[in-house]
Structure formats: C-alpha cells, structure tokens
Chains A and B, each alone.
Chain A
Amino acid sequence: MVRFLTRRVLVGVVTLIAISIIVFGLFFAVPSSPAKVMCGKNCDAASIAQVETRLGLREPIVTQYTKFMKGIFVGRTYADGTAFERRCDAPCLGYSFRNDEAVTTILSRTVPVTISIVIGAAILWLLIGVSLGMVSALRRGTLFDKLAIGISLTGASMQVFFFGLILLFLLVYTTGLLPFPSYTPFTENPAKWAQGLILPWVTLGFLNSAIYARLSRAQMLETLSEDFVRTARAKGLPLRRVYTKHALRAAITPIVTIAGLDIGASLGGTFITETIFGLRGLGKETVEAVGFLNLPIVVATVLLAAVFIVVANLIVDVLYAVIDPRVRLS
C-alpha cells in the first residue's frame, strides 16, 4: 500500500511538472503580450516596455519558469531593490497581472465556491442517479422503470445552459421564489450557503443524475444476469441480501471510477454553471484569465485542476481495493 501510494504520488508530481512546462510554453507561443492587454490606454512602446519589465516578461522564458517554480517551493521576492519590492512566501504562485492580487488569495476565494457547487451537486446526482438506476433495474419493465428511463433520457440530453436558464426564469426572474444564486461561505452561515447554491446543485445534479441512472441501471442488469447472482439465489439467500451484498457491490465498481473522474474534472471548474449563476469559481476565473493572458492565474488554475484529477484517480484506485476484493494495490 505504502509503495503503491509513493509511486503514484511521484508519478503525479512528474505529471504536474510536465503540465506546468506545457502551459508556460503555450503561453509564450501566443503572439500577443499581456502587457498589451493590460497597459491601459497609454499603450505606446515605452509603457508596454515598462509593464513587461514590471511583470518580469522581459526575462528569458527559462528564467521565468525557474523563478515561478522556486516561488512555489521556497517563495520569491518581486521587484528586488526598488520601492515596490515585496516578498511572496511559499507556496507563492505569483500575482495576477491584471490587478496585482496574490494568486493564492484568488484561489482561496474561488476554490471553495467550485468545491461547494460540485460537492452538493455530486451528492444529489449520486443519490438520485444511482438509486433510481438500481430500483429501475430491479423493477425492470414496470411503469416506474419506463418513467425513470424517460426522465433520465430527457435529462441526459439537456444542457446546463438551457436547464439552468429555465430554472432562473421560473424560480427567480418571474416568481421570485428563490433569490439569485450567490455564494456565502459555509462557515459563515450554512443556511445561506445552501440557499444560494440550491439552483446550481439542482441543475448540475439533475443533469448528471440522468447519466448515472442510466449507467447504474445497465450495470445492475448486467450483474443480475451473472452466474454468481444465480448461485447466490439458488443457495437460498434472501433477495435483499443478494442485491445489496453481492450484486450492488459488483455493479458499483465502474460507477465509482466514473464518479471519481467526473468529480475530479468538475472541481477543476464548472465554467458554464458558474457563469449562468453568476458564481465566481475556479472555472470562471480560469477562462477570464485566459482572455487576459493572465499567466500566473492560468498556470495555477490549470495545475490545480490537474491536481484534482490526479488525486481523484488515486482515491478511485484505493476505493477499488476496498470495494472489490479481487483488486490488490501493488
């Protein structure tokens, strides 16, 4: 187990370093300079040069990369020896080109938003999706099954930007039943936190639950037709025990894999959901940073998204061993 974890963490770190190099490389391949996007209205050659110097963009790309990586591990000092000198302690991800705010501050503000959206929505889609799928499989061919499949087909074919806008229109703009979504930290006021996020949860949760319902129904049906289920039933085990102890356990493995990847990817940013509901999470931050050629934020958010995926994968692999006794971590 320890060896497995060590190896996976090392591979993860190498992946992250490779990603950081690629992002840096891609960034400098863009023909425009962030100084031109950001130097305001006095964009003559002299001001652009001043801004580029201030942002450190006049240094060789390798130097910039080394300084950035150094900042993450031991911190760095900006504007050495001038009146504007400042120390950025490790883990230093630099300062936003656009408004000079520390990237770590930006992340600490936007990451909780995305995590709150994703966690709430994931609970919804797993609870609703998996239970709906399982019950459908067990009551195959009944009205319930057909209804559940019909609804999930509708859900799976809808898009966040469509469903979300309809909910906004019905519940916020016309009836005023709910306030416009907003983010309040959980630690500050849990009730307000939930109230402000209910619409994104429902939107994202409903659409994804449709996919999970279909997936778990198919998995469950497949498992139910396996020999070991027949054996268990032939042995005279109670049906409930057969379903929960034997069939469910086998059917859930692929769902865990997909859920792990989905949640990991969503944590990297749910741009469309965030945009529709006016919530400033990681997704919106990243897309805006790309528009502004805001390198420090782009690198940090891409890296963070990668961390989420790597970690989610790791958790899934560990969970495998727990769920499926045939899997050994080595």
Chain B
Amino acid sequence: MRIKGGALVVGALAVALTATGCNATTNEGGSGDSGEAKTQSGSISYEAADNTGPAKAVDGATKGGVITVMQVSDFEHLDPARNYVNVQQLTGNLIYRSLAGYVEDGSGKMLLVGDLATNPGTDVNKDCKVWEFKLRDGLKYEDGSAVSSKDVAWGIARSFAPELNEGPHYIQQWLYPGGGYNATYKGPYEGGAMPAGIDTPDDKTIKFTFAEPHCDMPYAAALPTSAPVPQAKDTKGQYDLKPFSSGPYKVKSYTRDNALELERNPNWDANTDPIRTAYPDGYKFTFGLEQQQIAERLVADAPADQASLTWGDTPPAVLPRTTAANVANRVAKGPTQYVWYLGVNNLRIKDKKIREALYYGLDRDAALKAIGGTSAGTPASTLMSPTTAGFEAFDVYNAPPTGDVNKVKEILGGTTPPPLVLAHSNTALRTAQAEAIRASLVKAGFQVTLKAIESTSYYDQVGRKNNPYDLYLHGWGSDWPTGSTIIPPLYDGREIADEGNNNLAYFNDDSINTEIDKIRAMPAAEQDAAWTALDKKLMTDFLPEIPAYYDATHELYGSKVGNAYLSDAFGALQLNKIFVKQ
C-alpha cells in the first residue's frame, strides 16, 4: 500500500507482511543486533502442530508486568473494519483474533496458521474459489460468551459500510468484483442483509464463495477484516474506542491522544491460541511525545522507562548514541516491506535507454544520507522488497551505490536527454532527498528541475494520469508478503485510471498483464517464484521505474523488555510474545 505523503507519515505505514528474503541488503553489523540478516522462509502451514495452541513458550520468559509503548500519535482506528496500519494491527492483535494469523519467533520462519480457525483456510474445490474456515472449540469473548462464525460474518458485513471504509477491502472486493467494493452492498445497518457469498451453516463454520479464484485467501483472512464482532456489541462509529475482546487483552481505559491501557481478558484460553503467549499483565500505549524525546528516554533507560519500547524510527540526532554497548543491544533494526522508487512517468519518458541512464545516474547513497543514512534503508535493485516470499537479490544493471556517470554517458551516446521535472512532497525529509537526487542526476548530465507539492495532496497530484511530471519519489509496501500486492497494483496497465493511480510509472504492457493473470491463478505456494521471475523480467526488459532503496526501521526498547524482535509480518516490534524481565 501507499505511504501517505502528509502528516500521517508518522506510523502510518500499513500492514504488511514480511516473509522470505534477506541477503546482502539487510543491515550488516551492529553488535547484539536483533535485526541481523536472517534467512526468512515464511509460508502457509496446515500442520496440526503449528495450528494447535498453546503458543510455543519463550525460554526464560516470565509472566507479569506492564509493557509501555511510547508513540508520537494516537491510533486512528482500532475498529477491525477500519484498521489498516501496521502498528494498529499489532495492537489489534492483542485485543481481537482474525480467522488466520502469523506465528512468529523472530527467526524469520514466520508461519501463517489458523487463529480463530483450525487452519488458515480450506480450499474446498481446489480452485481457490470456495474457502471454508472451522472455528476452534473454547473461543470466548471478554464477557465469557462463545465466539460464533456469525460474528465473523457480521464483522465482514459491517466493513462494507461507507462510514467504516478505512480498512483493507480485499475480501469485500472479491465478494463483489467489478466496480467499487461497496457499490452494491453497503453493509448490514440499512435493512440488516448480509453480504452475498458468505455462508454460516452453523456457529463453527464460515464459507466464502468467490466468482474468481483467489489463492491468497489465507493471507487476506489474516487481516483484521475477519475479526469477530457480535451484532449486539457493535457500537458502530464508537467501536474504535472499545473493540469487544476475543483475544488475550481487553481495553481497560482509552483516553484519545493520551493513553490506551489494556488488561487481561480472563476468558481467553491460551490452549486455543497458537500465536500469542500473553506474558505481560497489561500494555500501556502513551501518545503525544515527540520521537526525539522518546528516543532520548529509551537511550537513558531510567527505571521508569525500562519496560518501554517504541515503534518509531530513531531520529538521526539520537542515532550516534545508540551504538554504545548498553544501548546497541536494545535496538531492533531491519528491512520493512516498503521499497522507495524513483518513479518514471512512462507516458513522458518512453525510451527505455533514458530510464536506464537514470538508473545509473541515481546516487542511492546520497538519497539515503539525506534521510538518515544506513538506518533509513539500503540501496535497491529489485521492484519487490527483501521481505517478500520468494525474494531473490538479483541486480540486472549492477550500478554502484553512488551511481556511474561514465555509464550514463555511454548509454546516452552523445544525445541530450530531455529536461526533466522531479516532483516531491514538501516535507523536510523528502525535500532534502529530492535535492540530493537532483544533484546526482545533474552530475550525470541530466537537466532536472524540482517541483515541491504540498504533502497532503502529493499522491493525488502524481496519481493523475496526465500529470506534468517526469520523475517522482514514491514508496510502496505489500499488504501481505507475496508479490500479489506489489506487482499487480504497481505494474498492471489495465488498472490505470484518470486519477488515483498506484501505477505511477503509468506502465502498460500486454505481455506483463497476461503474465499477471496467469500467476494469480496459480496455487499460493507456486506464486512466490513466479512473482520473482516477473520482477526480473520487468527489470530486464522494461525497467518501468527505478528502485531506489529498501526502507528499514530502527526501533529502541528498554532493558527490561524481553524477547523483543521485529515482526516478520508487520515490520515493527512484535508484541505477541514479548515479556517484562523480572
């Protein structure tokens, strides 16, 4: 999904899942670095051992204590129908359970398993069109009542309501293909009808019937969309403040913009849950501090802050102090699911040669230095992130990180490239970065003018098909760790509309479009390699735009936080198995 250009940037990175990957691009070095390069091999598991609770215990973990999460901004939405941001999903995961979920231990061997359901979804007819989920025994809400598959259906139904439209819309769009996801069915509130294609023959079963094959359904079922919401507990617009708990914790108090406190849900049974260990007695999320203050406090590690952590990146000013031995072992760093591109408008730059020259002209090191250096990311040579299943660290063009001016001249062969306009969001960070990119391209012989666009309307402007810009910076992250939420939204030319485009390269090629359809119909297990092959083909034959760098995160935590690791699935510190050292 798109990174927002404006004030939302703080923590507004979406869900996404990180599975396989890693290679030369992950962070090297750093003693005691919990984000060490690791070989990831995420997959969907139907093994009974993986799909049965309780979750595997963590060595040395103890129950009790409260983990504090210090954040700059309050969450926008915890209502599962509206929850689309990675840190909101990590939090939501403590309060409610979806049909499927990710078992993680920080080793990179993330597994997608059944959460409420006994497995991550049964493909009934082996055509990816009908999916069935059976709920586990012993699932209870915070008031002790049983979780019913009808509540899952209600949760999905309400996510169609125009008033609750902020969440992911995969399942909704699959149930109602063609046109907007809620153009036909607008939720259960007006008249009470349930969406077509969802059946709940009994309280333990829910069945989805799609017109088209959707082999990614197990991943979509891990989104908060499928969290159960009992109709009687549905407070509509106010559900954000107090989602009814089906997970190990429930909302104790929530003062918007100040603090959210979670306490144990005594009716949650660890034996039904293969994902969460629920060691702390509670969590406290505090909002309103600047990232700099948070980082300073975590570096200082005062007794009151020792069981605290943050999901925000360490600001450059504090970074030098995080290398001291007693701080370095309290840093989690690694790649996120985001890749930043130097987008090239193919409607204006039609010649692949020029794009190739731009590829060599770009000084990736300088672009990264402008936003904080190696803790902000590593140079990219592929369209998909290292966190994608099946990722392969190929490099078709082998450009050095600082660019290759001679190679640019060789490719252009004495011809003068057209003057280029580079658009960027007008935030301090992006302006500095655009200036660095411009300088490197000018050095390589391009004529580049910068165009700053107001951050809140940045993606609007570059998302218009006939925009007057040649180059623009943009980031993209997958919604789950396969190529299916990267390649199609970014490079399927049939999706190009007059405005609101994600395909900012405005790239359209029939052979690629056909290939996308072919891969989508493959079983999930076979898709990974196929997306990687398509990434390679796009890079070699077309070079639709220029991958600049893989985004990275650098998060601090206190000395009493145990088992802190970056979630493979969400690219931020995972809370499911964290504990307070006693």
By a CB distance below 8 angstroms, the chain B residues around A100 are: 237-238, 240
Residues on A with C-beta less than 8 A from B76 are 38, 40, 98-99
Q: Looking at the assembled complex, report how far the CB atom of A200 sits from the nearest CB atom of chain B, in whole angstroms.
A: 13
Query: Interface with A: B34-42, B158-166, B430-438, which one?
Result: B158-166
Q: Does A241 contact B (CB under 8 A)?
A: no
Question: Interface stretch among B290-298, B333-341, B391-399, B566-574?
Answer: B290-298
A280 touches B2 (CB 8 A): no
Q: B324 an interface residue at 8 Å Cβ cutoff?
A: no
Indicate with 1 or 0, residue by residue over B78-102, a CB within 8 angstroms of chain A CB atoms. Answer: 0000101100000000000000000
Pick from B168, B183, B236, B456: contact of A37, CB under 8 Å = B456
- Evaluate contact between B169 and A293: CB separation under 8 angstroms: no
Within 8 A of B (CB), among A40-56: 40-47, 50-51, 53-54
CB within 8 Å of A: which B151-175 residues: 161-163, 165-169
Binds A, one of B252-260, B276-284, B547-555: B252-260
| Contact residues, B48-84 vs A (CB, 8 A) | 74, 76-77, 82, 84
Is A187 interfacial (CB-CB < 8 Å)?
A: no
When C-beta atoms are compared, the residue in chain B nearest to A279 turns out to be: B288
Residue with the highest number of chain A CB atoms closer than 10 Å, among B14, B84, B180: B180
Question: Is B429 positioned at the interface, with any CB of A under 8 Å from its CB?
Answer: no
Which chain B residues border A192 with CB–CB below 8 Å? Answer: none
B428 within 8 A of A: no
CB of B456 within 8 A of CB of A278, answer no
- B32 within 8 A of partner (CB): no
Q: A36-B460, A100-B237, A292-B7 are in contact. Are A50 and B165 (CB under 8 A)?
A: yes
Q: When the two chains form their complex, are residues A40 and B166 in contact, meaning their CB atoms are under 8 A apart?
A: yes
- Chain A nearest CB from B11 CB (Å) reads 13
Report the minimum CB–CB distance from B194 to chain A (whole Å).
Answer: 15
Q: Which A residues are in CB contact (< 8 Å) with B236?
A: 83-84
The reply to whether B165 and A174 contact each other, CB–CB distance below 8 Å, is no
Interchain CB contact under 8 A, B300 and A174: yes
Q: How far is the CA of A285 from the CA of B6 in the complex (A)?
A: 17
**Nearest CB of B to A164, in Å:** 11
B500 contact from A38, A43, A101, A168, Cβ within 8 A: A43
Residues of A within 8 A of B293 (CB): 168, 180, 278
Partner of A42, one of B7, B169, B189: B169
Q: Known contacts A54-B163, A173-B297: does B454 contact A32 (CB below 8 Å)?
A: yes
Which interface class (under 10, 10 to 19, 20 to 34, 35 or more) fits B?
35 or more
- Minimum CB distance partner of A96 in chain B: B256
A39 to B77, CA, bound (A): 11
CB distance from A264 to the nearest CB of B (A): 25
Q: Interface code B216-229, partner A: CB below 8 Å = 1, 0 otherwise?
A: 00000000000000
Residues from chain B with Cβ under 8 Å of A43 in the complex: 2, 459, 500
Complex-state Cα separation, A82 to B161, whole angstroms: 11
Contact in complex: A39, B165 (CB < 8 Å): yes
1/0 per residue, CB under 8 A from A, across B368-399: the answer is 00000000000000000000000000000000
Inter-chain CA distance A195–B459, complex, in Å, is: 45
State whether B289 touches A83 (Cβ < 8 A): no
Instruction: Assess the A109–B258 pair: CB atoms within 8 A.
Output: yes
Q: 0/1 per residue, A57-97, Cβ < 8 Å to B?
A: 00000000000000000000001001110100000000000
B190 within 8 A of A: yes
B145 at the interface (CB under 8 A from A): no
- Inter-chain contact B297/A42, CB cutoff 8 Å: no
A98 to B77, CA, bound (A): 9
Residues of chain B within 8 A (CB-CB) of A176 are 300, 302
- Least CB distance from B175 to A in Å reads 16
A59 to chain B: closest CB distance in Å?
Answer: 16
Query: How far does the Cβ of B278 sit from chain A's closest Cβ, in whole Å?
Result: 27
Q: 1/0 per position for B234-276, CB-CB distance to A under 8 A?
A: 0011101000000000000001111000000000000000000
At the interface, yes or no: B1 with Cβ under 8 Å from chain A?
A: yes
**A84–B236 Cα gap in the complex (Å)?**
7
Partner of B8, one of A37, A44, A46, A168: A37
A86 to B163 Cα, complex, angstroms: 13
Nearest neighbor of A180 in chain B, beta-carbon distance: B297
Partner of A41 from B6, B14, B289, B499 at Cβ < 8 Å: B14
The reply to whether A46 and B180 form a contact with Cβ atoms under 8 Å apart is yes
Q: Does A288 reach chain B (CB closer than 8 Å)?
A: yes
Q: Which residues of B contact A174 (CB under 8 A)?
A: 300
Q: Contacts of A46 on B, CB cut-off 8 Å?
A: 180, 183
State whether B457 touches A31 (Cβ < 8 A): yes
A180 to B74, CA, bound (A): 19
C-alpha spacing A176/B300, complex, angstroms: 9
Q: Are B189 and A84 in contact (CB under 8 A)?
A: yes
The reply to whether A84 and B163 form a contact with Cβ atoms under 8 Å apart is: yes
Do A45 and B499 touch across chains, with their CB atoms under 8 A apart? Answer: yes
- Per the bound structure, the CA–CA distance linking A293 and B302 in Å amounts to 37
B232 on the A face (CB < 8 A): no
A83 proximity list for chain B (CB < 8 A): 161, 189-190, 236
User: Given the complex, which residues of A lie within 8 Å of B8, measured CB to CB?
Assistant: 37, 292
A304 at the interface (CB under 8 A from B): no
**B165 cross-chain contacts in A, Cβ below 8 A:** 39-40, 42, 47, 50-51
Q: Are A54 and B162 in contact (CB under 8 A)?
A: yes
**B24, CB-defined interface residue at 8 Å:** no
Is A106 positioned at the interface, with any CB of B under 8 Å from its CB?
A: yes
Measured CB to CB, the nearest residue on chain A to B498 is A45
Q: Is A291 part of the binding interface, using a Cβ–Cβ cutoff of 8 Å? A: yes
Q: Is A179 an interface residue (CB 8 A)?
A: yes
For B185-216 the 0/1 string (1 means CB < 8 A from A) is: 00001100000000000000000000000000
Among B1, B293, B302, residue most surrounded by chain A Cβ atoms (within 10 Å): B293
| Contact of A40 with B167 in the complex, beta carbons under 8 Å | yes
The chain A residue sitting closest to B180, CB to CB, is A46
B166 touches A99 (CB 8 A): no
Most buried by B among A41, A101, A291: A41
Q: A315 CB to closest chain B CB, in angstroms? A: 31
**What residues on B are CB-neighbors of A45 within 8 Å?**
499-500
When distances are taken between beta carbons in the complex, the residues of chain A under 8 Å from B304 are: 179
Min CB distance A299 to B, Å, is 18
A15 beta carbon closer than 8 Å to chain B: no
CB under 8 Å from chain A, chain B span 387-438: none
Cross-chain contact A275 with B456 (CB below 8 angstroms): no
Q: Is A217 an interface residue (CB 8 A)?
A: no
Residue in A31, A38, A42, A180 whose beta carbon sits within 8 Å of that of B454 in the complex: A31
Residues of chain A with a CB closer than 8 A to B82's CB: 40
- CB neighbours (8 Å) of B255 from chain A are 109
Cβ-defined contact, B256 with A106, below 8 A? yes
* Identity of the chain B residue whose Cβ is nearest the Cβ of A110 in the assembled complex: B257
A214 at the interface (CB under 8 A from B): no
Given contacts A101-B256, A174-B300, contact A82 B7 (CB under 8 A): no
Q: Which 6 A-B pairs have the closest CB atoms?
A: A83-B189, A40-B166, A291-B7, A50-B162, A278-B289, A32-B456
- Give 19 A-B pairs besides A39-B166, A98-B76 with Cβ atoms closer than 8 angstroms: A31-B454, A32-B456, A36-B460, A40-B82, A41-B2, A41-B168, A50-B162, A50-B165, A54-B162, A82-B189, A84-B189, A84-B236, A86-B237, A106-B256, A106-B257, A173-B296, A180-B293, A278-B290, A285-B257
A selection of 19 A-B contacts at a CB cut-off of 8 Å is A31-B457, A32-B457, A37-B6, A41-B84, A41-B85, A42-B166, A42-B168, A46-B183, A79-B163, A83-B190, A84-B237, A99-B76, A99-B77, A105-B256, A109-B257, A278-B289, A280-B257, A280-B287, A292-B7
